[in-house]
Amino acid sequence: MINVTCAIIEHNEKIVVVQRSEFMNLPLKWEFPGGKIENNETEEACIKREIKEELNIEIELISRLSPVTYKYPSFEIKLIPFIAKYINGEINLSEHKQFDWLTKDRLNNLDWAEADIAILKEYQSL
């Protein structure tokens, strides 16, 4: 099982979402930015590092939501979500195909990575 953190980054009533590229696994699926926890890394350090690497922005963590375990056909993940707020920087994608800023109620319209559906539900119920 791989441990992955992801961030729901809020700014001006919107949340940033990213689309995986054709060349990644789960091609073209939408997700919250984040990535795998490295050896001896805390969840908090991981999410801040991944957001800097993938989007090139700074965030501040607000809270942690419930982790979700999900079994894809070829791998299993534990996805650990954080709510965060945007602090500074201009988004510059290093891996993803595109990003968008959406209001909470419009997040449902995307083709999400399956593991994210439960996270989305919890977030929208807050």
Ligand X SMILES: Nc1nc2c([nH]c(=O)n2[C@@H]2O[C@H](COP(=O)(O)OP(=O)(O)OP(=O)(O)O)[C@@H](O)[C@H]2O)c(=O)[nH]1
Residues that bind ligand X (CB under 6 A): 4, 6, 24-26, 31-36, 77, 79, 113, 115-116
Nearest to residue 58, comparing CAs of 96, 89, 92? 89
CA distance 62 to 110: 24
Q: Which is nearer to ligand X, 11 or 110 (CB)?
A: 110
Q: Which is nearer to ligand X, 27 or 89 (CB)?
A: 27
Nearest to residue 20, comparing CAs of 106, 116, 108? 116
Least Cβ distance, residue 28 to ligand X (angstroms) = 11
Least Cβ distance, residue 75 to ligand X (angstroms) = 7
Least Cβ distance, residue 27 to ligand X (angstroms) = 10
Q: Which is nearer to ligand X, 25 or 42 (CB)?
A: 25
- Residues 6 or more apart from 4 whose CB is under 8 A from it? 34, 35, 36, 37, 77, 78, 79, 80
